[in-house]
Amino acid sequence: MSVRVRRIYDPPEADDGLRVLVDRLWPRGLAKDEAHIDEWPKGLTPSTELRKWYHAGEGSYEEFRRRYEAELDAPEAAELLDGLRKSVREGRVTLLTASRAPERSQAAVLAELLKRTR
């Protein structure tokens, strides 16, 4: 039972477990059959507005995290998050993102939440 964050562009590893893409947009230059993802819960990703705000450099990671956690309280996102928590209890989950800084992305926020609530 563990959760980790990796870049979608890194080759899959045998111990990845359930591979979940947590980006709203499909990663550039990556063919779908090369991604080896198991799930792509778009309802769990940051809203387009929040994503654009953060990538425009208008706010800090801490503010992004706070706003994203608030979005995760919405019914659809909360239900998807609960499903992901169940998957983590059943085995390893690898959260995938195209972000160049995965440690400061929505994947890191999700990983932190999942580790806190196992």
Domain membership of residue 101 as a residue range: 3-116
Tokens linked to 48: 């387009």
18 band by pLDDT with thresholds 50, 70 and 90 = very high
Amino acid at 58: E
What are 49-94's pLDDT values in tens digits? 999 999 888 789 999 999 999 999 999 999 999 999 999 999 999 9
Residues near 46 by Cβ (< 8 Å), separated by ≥ 6? 24, 54, 64, 68, 71, 106
- Domains in the chain, number: 1
Radius of gyration of the chain (CA): 13
pLDDT of res. 60: 92
Residues near 53 by Cβ (< 8 Å), separated by ≥ 6? 59, 64
pLDDT of res. 57: 84
Cα(first)–Cα(last) distance of the chain, in Å? 9
Residue 33 burial by CB count (10 A; 0-12/13-18/19+): exposed, middle or buried?
exposed
Mean pLDDT confidence for 27-52 = 94
